[in-house]
Chain A
């Protein structure tokens, strides 16, 4: 089956700000969005630093979407998706008029609503944080008439959502597909990852010898996909191929060998018709946990060998945005291709993942940046790899 489809719109919001160009500029300057938390008490969890979307920006997104205080995920998702819809030639009317679907990726959606209900004693709670309902709310706000579903596949949710949107397009189930990835910081995640001792007390350091855990982040990303772009559509990039596998060995820990992730990368390259030496940049998962980064390093080395393309993780500056990560980082990878620049992996001082990797400490301009492989892994042993190609609309 062909896996090719065009990406004609994108937007994102994250700890470093609003919009792909603003976030990219700050990323290249080496700024870190992981800072002392403003919405969570200090000293309660095993870290006080997180990649929060700035409060003023979150308020602006709420105002943009009419979302109330209890719906930050909706505010981010609807705002970003709405901008993508309005930004494409023909605007939102084009999406509403076409058979446009939505795949929303999230791990916990509006989990803060459940936290508040759980804190109140008494009777049954309404399952209002249902992730499928969040997808439907965003689709209704944009008056979409195509298929609507939520993908909740742990930390690979974002990549799987892009894949699912491409599948729906190829089947003819929709003319246009919006993909939205969103997750918001909540006590739920901070408490859970603290209980796992998985959080770094300082901004995380992907692939570093002294890495000591991840930093949680929040944000949203959105892409608009289609098979046949209009002549006036800006083709920002293309989905080239994908691979999804499961380690089938542990619920919360990655495989020690990296075989599952390596198989996903090989499948993605095969579907895209690419050799490993044609990849120009690897957008790594790089959570900065000891075992994830070591597993990822083995997988990358197994596929690409010593002569590998440059690798970077943005987790050291945005934090781990969980279900949003795949979409948000795919959007940044499109910018990387447009600018022919690989970002630095913020937080890296001394490489220490057991095998040689080409992780960048400084941004690197390349004469050619045509193919990116984005990789993610998650709880439940799942791995995903997505090949992105440079678009005709890139400079």
Chain B
């Protein structure tokens, strides 16, 4: 049995934002989903946030909830991998860029920079000085869960020691019929770590892992809701992850697609 520890979680969605340590609900009079402002999310400076597209904002905000130490100048994290799973990708900024093409002054170079879902990985790499492997994938509504799975597998394969795995969906009309804001970030660790595990992924076989939460935790629950929202299943602190997009809950087998 091989174990991968989930040592930190972060989540931003239409109900609130937070980590394993603290959860903040949006004010009752906030729009749904609320407009993300950095000053609301974090005390730590991050000048670039205002220029990011919705997907990058959601991913960066969720990762900020992991409360990683800010790297010192010249410090980097070559042993850390970044994995992002997203179904809708950057459709919001894609549409805005398309419309800017017809505007006076022409296409916006600022928007064009964000018309790749992997730009979110670039923003995260800069923010946290992560210089290890990157993977940006899309595999339908289970993409967030798949990011967690692939992140764990990178660690098992020895390609990295830590992984920031993120599932993110963020878009606003008219790119989508209803506004969407859901992002979960997980810090995965293989081997000894000072951080107390929030949950453990235990691999008995290559294609199946048992995920046990050490304690019920809101961001962890959010992931499973995130991964299975369209299936409407209940959440549970103990579930199986089964490759590639399957959750096995205590009572039921659900394919997250």
Asked if A244 contacts B133 (CB within 8 A), the reply is: yes
How far, in whole Å, are A173 and B185 apart by their CA atoms in the complex? 25
Asked if B131 contacts A246 (CB within 8 A), the reply is: yes
Asked if B118 is an interface residue, CB under 8 A from chain A, the answer is yes
Asked if A111 is an interface residue, CB under 8 A from chain B, the answer is yes
Shortest distance in angstroms between B101's beta carbon and chain A's nearest beta carbon?
A: 5
Q: How many residues of A contact B (CB 8 A)?
A: 60
Chain B, 95-153, CB within 8 A of any chain A CB:
95, 97-99, 101-102, 106-109, 112-113, 115-119, 121-123, 125-126, 129-140, 143, 146, 153
Shortest distance in angstroms between B21's beta carbon and chain A's nearest beta carbon?
A: 26
Asked if A119 is an interface residue, CB under 8 A from chain B, the answer is yes
Chain A, 193-241, CB within 8 A of any chain B CB:
193-196
Choose one: A124, A196, A380; the contact of B134 (CB below 8 Å): A380
Q: Which residues of A contact B97 (CB under 8 A)?
A: 188, 191-192
Asked if B15 is an interface residue, CB under 8 A from chain A, the answer is no
Residue of A nearest to B81 (CB): A244
Q: Which residues of B contact A154 (CB under 8 A)?
A: 116, 118-119
Asked if B126 contacts A196 (CB within 8 A), the reply is: no
Asked if B177 is an interface residue, CB under 8 A from chain A, the answer is yes
Q: Mark B71-89, 1 if CB is under 8 A from A, else 0.
A: 0000010100010000111
Residue of A nearest to B52 (CB): A251
Asked if A191 contacts B101 (CB within 8 A), the reply is: yes
How far, in whole Å, are A160 and B175 apart by their CA atoms in the complex? 28
Shortest distance in angstroms between A71's beta carbon and chain B's nearest beta carbon?
A: 17
Asked if A382 contacts B121 (CB within 8 A), the reply is: yes
Asked if A150 contacts B157 (CB within 8 A), the reply is: no
Asked if A172 is an interface residue, CB under 8 A from chain B, the answer is yes
Asked if A114 contacts B78 (CB within 8 A), the reply is: no
A interface residues, Cβ below 8 angstroms from B: 1, 107-108, 111, 114-115, 117-119, 122-125, 127, 129-133, 135-136, 147-154, 160, 164, 167, 170-173, 187-188, 191-196, 244-252, 260, 263, 378-382
How far, in whole Å, are A379 and B125 apart by their CA atoms in the complex? 12
Residue of A nearest to B175 (CB): A125
Shortest distance in angstroms between B246's beta carbon and chain A's nearest beta carbon?
A: 11
How far, in whole Å, are A379 and B153 apart by their CA atoms in the complex? 25
Asked if B106 contacts A195 (CB within 8 A), the reply is: yes
Asked if A125 contacts B82 (CB within 8 A), the reply is: no
Asked if B217 is an interface residue, CB under 8 A from chain A, the answer is no
Residue of A nearest to B177 (CB): A124
Asked if A149 contacts B108 (CB within 8 A), the reply is: no
Asked if A379 contacts B119 (CB within 8 A), the reply is: yes
Shortest distance in angstroms between B226's beta carbon and chain A's nearest beta carbon?
A: 16
Asked if A111 contacts B94 (CB within 8 A), the reply is: yes
Given A149-B244, A192-B109, A248-B125, is A132 in contact with B133 using a C-beta cutoff of 8 Å?
Answer: no
Choose one: A122, A150, A251; the contact of B119 (CB below 8 Å): A251
Shortest distance in angstroms between A24's beta carbon and chain B's nearest beta carbon?
A: 30
Asked if A124 contacts B244 (CB within 8 A), the reply is: no
Q: Which residues of A contact B216 (CB under 8 A)?
A: none
Q: Which residues of A contact B87 (CB under 8 A)?
A: 130, 132
Q: Which residues of A contact B115 (CB under 8 A)?
A: 108, 188, 192
Q: Which residues of A contact B27 (CB under 8 A)?
A: none
Asked if A260 contacts B131 (CB within 8 A), the reply is: yes
Q: Which residues of B contact A378 (CB under 8 A)?
A: 118
Asked if A124 contacts B176 (CB within 8 A), the reply is: yes
Residue of B nearest to A131 (CB): B138
How far, in whole Å, are A119 and B173 apart by their CA atoms in the complex? 15
Q: Which residues of B contact A133 (CB under 8 A)?
A: 140
Asked if B106 contacts A380 (CB within 8 A), the reply is: no
Q: Which residues of A contact B89 (CB under 8 A)?
A: 130-131, 152
Choose one: A1, A152, A171, A188; the contact of B136 (CB below 8 Å): A152
Asked if B102 contacts A119 (CB within 8 A), the reply is: yes
Given A124-B173, A195-B112, A251-B126, is A152 in contact with B118 using a C-beta cutoff of 8 Å?
Answer: yes
Asked if B134 contacts A118 (CB within 8 A), the reply is: no
Asked if A153 contacts B143 (CB within 8 A), the reply is: no
Residue of A nearest to B159 (CB): A1
Q: Which residues of B contact A119 (CB under 8 A)?
A: 98, 102
How far, in whole Å, are A192 and B88 apart by their CA atoms in the complex? 20
A-B contact pairs, 14 of them (CB 8 A): A119-B102, A147-B244, A148-B139, A153-B135, A167-B157, A171-B243, A195-B108, A245-B132, A246-B82, A246-B122, A248-B76, A251-B119, A263-B78, A381-B125
